[in-house]
Amino acid sequence: MTEQSIRRRILITMAMSGGEIKKEICMELCGSKPYYKKLMQQMKEKGEAETIFGCHPRTLHIKKNGVMQIADDVPRIMARYEARQLAVNEEKSYRRATISQVIYNMYLAGVRYEPQKKETLSNQREQADTASVYYAPYEIKGKSDENRGSKLCGILIFQQESILLYNMEDHNIKWIKAVEENTQTTLFKLWGKMGTARQIIFGTGMEQIIMENNVKEQEQFVHWLNDGENIRVFSVKKQDMEQYLEKLEKE
């Protein structure tokens, strides 16, 4: 990739996640630590991004000049920026990082995710196109106060089926069952199809949680989503997602 395409991909991911991207993703896109440092220094000098310290995982945050660079690529991004929806927020930093990882996973798997290259969610269900499409949480309209606090990191439309996406990174996440159930109901209403949705949970070493026989309290989120044998758990690797999509095509 060219420097311009790397910078653009980083900025779009930040915009879609709520304003931040994991440092590790940027380093992987750059291909080497020296090149990453060079590019990040350029973006900081141009007022496009800044490093957020004190949070785990370490992230980069989009700034005004970065928003202006992708105004044509991400509809309403400037309005969201001016409404401070992308402002630095330590409480939201971890969630933004988890969403940025899911967006990057979609990119690796060849899923259509950039806002200007896809229909809105409400229009997508009317399309005959069966290409895989990803929608970030902010793109899922119809959200209500009942859905606040959901750990949903977006949805994947695959062959006109909606799949809920979560990311646990390297530890179990806190959740409220009623909130996740309400979020799923909201999605079904938007998508116009009721039923039991599949889920994909990304994470690091999460396979071990599913394989354990004893259900511990902190594992309830995973096992609740496992109702109906819908769960799929991956480490964050390109081949995991590719293999899963190939399997879905055969079902």
Contacts of residue 61, Cβ cutoff 8 Å, sequence gap at least 6: 14, 19, 20, 49, 50, 51, 52, 88
Tally Cβ neighbours within 10 Å of residue 110: 13
Amino acid 70 reads I
Instruction: Spell out the residues 6+ positions from residue 114 whose beta carbon is closer than 8 angstroms to its own.
Output: 12, 73
| Cβ neighbours of residue 117 closer than 8 Å, sequence gap 6 or more | none
Comparing C-alpha atoms, which of 26, 22, 101 is closest to residue 56?
22
The CATH architecture assigned to 3-106 reads Orthogonal Bundle (1.10)
| pLDDT single digits (tens) 160-219 | 778 888 887 766 667 777 788 788 777 777 776 655 567 777 776 544 444 443 334 334
Q: According to the model, what pLDDT value does residue 96 have? A: 94
**Mind listing the pLDDT tens digit for each residue in 77-133?**
999 999 999 999 988 999 999 999 999 988 888 889 999 888 887 777 777 666 789
> How do beta strands 133-135 and 155-158 pair?
antiparallel
Q: Is 3 helix (H, G, I), strand (E, B) or coil?
A: helix
More confident residue, 233 or 245: 245
**pTM to 2 decimal places:** 0.82
pLDDT of residue 244: 63
Query: Average pLDDT for residues 220-242, to the nearest whole number?
Result: 47
Backbone angles phi, psi at 157, to 5 degrees: -95, 115
Tokens 């979560």: give the residue.
Answer: 166
Domain positions in the chain: 3-106, 111-250
